[in-house]
Amino acid sequence: MSSPLIKYNNTTLVLPPAMCGSIGYYALLASHKNVVIDRECRFDKRRKLMHRYDIADVNGRLTLTVPIVKPRIGATWNEAEVSTHGAWWNIHKVALWSAYGRTPFFEYYIDEFMPYLQPRDGIQPESLMDLNTGIDTVIRRILGIDSNIRYNLTDEEKELLKNEDASIIDHRASNFDLEKWVEYYQVRADKQGFIPNLTILDLIFNMGPESPLVLKKIIDTNY
> Model pTM?
0.95
Cα 73 off chain centre by: 26
Within 10 angstroms of residue 98's Cβ, the number of other Cβ atoms is 14
Pairing of strands 32-37, 8-15: parallel
Cα 84 off chain centre by: 21
Measured between alpha carbons, how far is 115 from 102 in angstroms, rounded to an integer? 21
What pLDDT was estimated at residue 125?
53
Among 130, 131, 126, 129, which residue's Cα sits nearest to residue 92?
131
> First CA to last CA across the chain, in angstroms?
22
Q: What is the mean pLDDT of residues 49-70?
A: 95
What is the band of 123 on the pLDDT scale with cuts at 50, 70, 90? low
What pLDDT was estimated at residue 37?
97
What does the mean pLDDT of the chain come to? 94
Number of alpha carbons in the 13 Å side-chain half-sphere of residue 21: 28
Contact 172, 15 (CB under 8 A): yes
Question: How confident is the model over 76-86, as pLDDT tens digits?
Answer: 999 999 998 89
Where are the chain's structural domains? 9-222
What pLDDT was estimated at residue 114?
93
Measured between alpha carbons, how far is 13 from 79 in angstroms, rounded to an integer? 23
Question: How confident is the model over 182-218, as pLDDT tens digits?
Answer: 999 999 999 999 999 999 999 999 999 999 999 999 9
Q: What is the mean pLDDT of residues 140-161?
A: 96
